[in-house]
Amino acid sequence: MHIAIIGAGVSGLLTALELVEQGCQVSIFDQQQPGKAASWAGGGILSPMYPWRYPRPVNEIAQHGKTLYTQWNEKLLPVTGTDFQIHETGMLIFDEDDFETGLNYKDRYQEPMQQCEYLQREQLKQVNPHISEQFQHAIYFPQLANVRNPRLLQSLLAYLKQHPAAEIYENCWIEQFSIQHGKIQSIQSQSGQTFTADEYVIATGAWSAHWSEQLQLSIPVAPVQGQMLLFKTPENWLPTMCMNQVMYLIPRMDGHIVCGSSMDNIGFDKRPSVQTQQNIFKACTEMVPELANFPVVKQWAGLRPGSPTGVPYIGKLPELHNAWANFGHHRNGLCMGPGSARLLRQLILKQPTLVSPDAYNPERLKSSVHG
């Protein structure tokens, strides 16, 4: 079976990986360099931030992220030489209003990653001595990890590029579908090239609404800009991830600390704003005051695929026999990525699924256009 995948962010690349490992041929198309939109720009926390604030289907698929990334890293590392750097740091959350909800969530769902405990100041200092004095308590999630997403993408790309069943077309903007009798017959690029496959997967992230008209669907996915700062500290300086009021600090193994993130609905604009960068800097140094002593080595912005509830669209597109969706992951594309790709592969190949696919069904796109 030959499958064309439009979009080479983390969703498209993981989908390709799942399929080639099952013996399929894949062709992957990206409008620019693969992995350079939201996937590269995110933080890589392997859990939804404040999971209790999300619909259940988000957490059901996200909870497979850490296990699947660990398995893929073991498989790909000997071939690519690039380690995803899955970093077991744990996380401290300082939002007092969430303490009770977080502890209740832990008891209710018993997900390993969401095991947490309430810490008072003395215990807090032992877990992370750099936390500001203003925080007298926290809830601590010892099993939360992060993945270094630029390295993850590097490894995925290197593996697929050397794989005999995969072909990657960079800077190839797919513009048009040729549809007849409820099937996509071919796809056409902006430069006029035509490509054919048996099945077609749309994994175009923040750009997915582009297909609404051609597919006669209402695709409510829009870009949401998020900005980040990167500090450089000594190796292993900050022992845990930290979060307060939706701002987070994510330590990498080499001492880099990723800090974010903002939410701005400003279309396809990736220019960082000075004001937002200052807000992030202030929020992060409030949590860890000593960060102000270290250099900011980089700042950037990415575009998340914003969707109404954060529940992605995964599965067969309405009214089409050979078109599939894997988009709309909003803030959780990295942690939902491996579970989403596996679920889609299982649906395409008619295999048993790791979660019930009903909540992700793209039939939702049809009801919103007709009603």
**pLDDT digit string (tens) for 189-209?**
999 999 999 999 999 999 999
Strand 323-327 and strand 194-195: the pairing is unpaired
3-class secondary-structure state, position 242: strand
Domains in the chain, CATH or no CATH each: 2-53+150-221+308-370 (3.50.50.60), 91-143+222-306 (3.30.9.10)
Q: What is the pLDDT of residue 155?
A: 98
Euclidean distance between CA atoms 163 and 341, whole angstroms: 18
**Cβ neighbours, 10 Å, residue 57:** 20
pLDDT along the chain (371 residues), means of 10: 97 98 98 81 93 96 97 98 97 97 94 94 97 97 96 97 97 95 97 97 96 94 95 97 96 96 90 92 97 96 94 97 97 97 98 98 76 40
Alpha helices by DSSP H, listed for 163-292, are 212-215, 274-287
Measuring CA to CA, how many Å separate 193 from each of 187, 188, 202, 209?
8, 6, 18, 22
Q: What is the pLDDT of residue 130?
A: 98
Sheet with 174-180, edge to edge strand ranges: 174-180, 183-189, 194-195
Q: Are 317 and 177 in contact (CB under 8 A)?
A: no
Euclidean distance between CA atoms 222 and 89, whole angstroms: 32
Where on the phi/psi map is residue 23: left (φ > 0), alpha (ψ -120 to 50), or beta? left
Q: What is the pLDDT of residue 370?
A: 44
**pLDDT digit string (tens) for 238-284?**
999 999 999 999 999 999 999 998 899 999 998 889 999 999 999 99
Give the residue among 22, 239, 35 at the shortest CA–CA distance from 152.
35
Q: What is the pLDDT of residue 369?
A: 45
Q: What is the pLDDT of residue 367?
A: 58
Secondary structure tally for the chain: helices H, strands E: 11, 17
Length of the chain (residues): 371
3-class secondary-structure state, position 225: strand
Residue 282's Cβ-count burial label (10 Å; 0-12, 13-18, 19+) is exposed
Give the residue among 162, 16, 178, 143 at the shortest CA–CA distance from 81.
162
Q: What is the pLDDT of residue 34?
A: 82
